């Protein structure tokens, strides 16, 4: 079994879920007392969040690259970056093969026969091309919420979910955002922030939801066990420099 390198702490609330899911997946597949071979490096999210807000992405990338090196020294065979937003710097992480969360998610969306997909996540994830472009590289049309809805989705993540606060009012707000995406033609919705799954699930949506934490973690476990290959976009697309005609949003 390959050793999974989990780069977490962004936030630790969702990193806990990664550890739980990869081990449950291995036990489900292999039975008995089996569990995953994995190592985790957990960063201080306060430092990373400040770098996000101030736009110092290269500094954040350097911090995560140092962590990746530490995971490699600890014996990791491949990297799982336990966050959607920080995949913005995924192509700056060196030394280990990366199982990209966007590829893991898009592959499942395509398998479900869905082409037009709604996306919830941080403002960075919803508004920048590193993520929507990655999904478009798999042939998906991405719908993002309007400006007010994006602001509320982002606020709930950073003010509530990353500190473990789950409020019924916020759950209803997310349900309303999902309903508006469906009204605009979304055939499914990607829960594109690893904390969102702490708040809403399939029961909160009239269309299928795609929980990125679970999809990413389960594929990591399957890959570690030799049961799945790493998915990729056509022609090794990295998400950089692509036009945004594939993204539909009311700005």
Catalytic residues: 83, 193
Q: 69-93 burial by CB neighbour count: b if 16+ within 10 A, else e?
A: eebbeeebbbbbbbbbbbbbbbeeb
Give the residue ranges of DSSP H helices in the chain. 12-30, 45-53, 57-73, 101-111, 123-127, 129-136, 147-159, 168-183, 212-224
Helices 212-224 and 12-30, axial angle in degrees (round to 10): 50
* Sign of the C-alpha dihedral computed for residues 190, 194, 197 and 199 taken in this order: negative
DSSP character at residue 145: -
Closest CA to 218 of 7, 11, 53, 23: 23
Q: How many CA atoms lie within 13 A of 158 on its CB side?
A: 18
């Amino acid at each position: 079994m390959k050793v999974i390198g989990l780069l977490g702490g962004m936030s630790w609330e969702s990193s806990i879920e990664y550890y739980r899911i990869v081990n449950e997946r291995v036990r489900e597949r292999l039975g008995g007392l089996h569990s995953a071979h994995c190592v985790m490096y957990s960063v201080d999210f306060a430092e990373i969040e400040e770098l996000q807000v101030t736009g110092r992405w290269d500094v954040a990338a350097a911090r995560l690259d140092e962590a990746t090196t530490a995971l490699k020294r600890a014996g990791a065979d491949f990297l799982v970056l336990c966050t959607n937003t920080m995949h913005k710097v995924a192509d700056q992480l060196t030394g280990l093969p990366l199982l990209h969360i966007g590829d893991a998610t898009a592959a499942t969306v395509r398998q479900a026969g869905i082409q037009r997909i709604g996306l919830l996540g941080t403002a960075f994830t919803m508004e920048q091309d590193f993520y929507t472009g990655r999904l478009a590289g798999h042939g998906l049309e991405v719908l993002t919420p309007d400006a007010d809805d994006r602001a509320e989705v982002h606020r709930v993540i950073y003010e509530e979910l990353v500190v473990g606060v789950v409020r019924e009012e916020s759950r209803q707000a997310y349900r309303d955002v999902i309903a508006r995406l469906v009204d605009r033609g979304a055939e499914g919705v990607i829960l594109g922030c690893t904390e969102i799954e702490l708040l809403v699930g399939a029961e909160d949506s009239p269309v299928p939801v795609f929980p990125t934490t679970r999809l990413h973690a389960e594929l990591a476990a399957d890959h570690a066990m030799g049961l799945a290959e790493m998915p990729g976009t056509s022609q090794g697309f990295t998400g950089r420099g692509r036009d945004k005609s594939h993204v539909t949003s009311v700005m």
